[in-house]
Copies of this chain bind each other. A is one copy, B any other.
């Protein structure tokens, strides 16, 4: 479903959303232990996300990664599409084409609307709204 890289990226972005802003940046070396992602790997992922403007960054002393308000309004789907590619999440269980409700493969009804509703949720949910749940204690940021 999601690759490990995408999960790490999510954790990182969510963590940044909770702990940073324009005036409060964080460096890779201060993040990786908190979210349990290998340091260099995290660096690479954040650089990739930065290149695509999902997260913001600045170099030099006092530099680091952070999320500004614009970043926080980004939808989750962008993260996984950038890290995993757009295909991975959307391919059918049996063939390699996209799901087709008209001509469902034998497994289609087993997965039900599960997958498509998951995708839809990713498309609709912004980083911002997701972390609200964490702040409210409705969900947690594990590890």
Residues of A at the B interface (CB closer than 8 Å) are 1-2, 7, 10-11, 14, 76, 92-97, 103-115, 117-118, 121-122, 125, 130-131, 133-134, 138-143
Contacts and interface: CB of A to CB of B under 8 A. Distances in A.
A94 B125 contact: no
A117 B112 contact: yes
Contacts of A121: 110-112
Contact of A10 (B93, B112, B118, B131): B93
Contacts of A109: 133, 139
A30 B10 CA distance: 44
B10 A94 contact: yes
Nearest to A131: B106
